[in-house]
Amino acid sequence: MNELFKLEISKLEYNPIIKDLMKEILLDNYKQFTYDIEAKRKSISKETNLLNEKVASARDKYLADKLRSFKLFYKKRLAYFCVARHKNIKQAYDVPST
């Protein structure tokens, strides 16, 4: 009985050449099916990286502009206070003429 079973089972096994061909065909089909998904994933990843770079660049430009604006504002204030201080010192040392 065991021998008969083994004989029948061996008939169901694929020939190694056919087995390799089936493996290749299945693998090719799988790659064709998933290629689109991989290509889309790579495309989305590239687009995300590009957008992140643009956001970083915009942030840097915005901060540089803000810094420039603050520098200008405080430079003007400093100049104003220096002039005002100079005026006060000059007035303190001015002798009124009689």
pLDDT per residue as tens digits for the range 45-89: 999 999 999 999 999 999 999 999 999 999 999 988 888 887 777
Please give the mean pLDDT across all residues of the chain.
86
| Separation of alpha carbons 17 and 15, rounded Å | 6
Residue 50 lies in a domain: yes
| Separation of alpha carbons 7 and 10, rounded Å | 5
Residue 28 lies in a domain: yes
Residue 8 lies in a domain: no
Residue 89 lies in a domain: yes
Name, in order, each residue with C-beta under 8 angstroms of 15's C-beta and a sequence gap of 6 or more.
none
Instruction: Give the pLDDT band (50/70/90) at residue 10.
Output: confident
- Alpha carbons within 13 angstroms on the beta-carbon side of residue 69 total 6
Q: Number of folded domains in the chain?
A: 1
| Separation of alpha carbons 27 and 33, rounded Å | 10
Confidence (pTM):
0.48
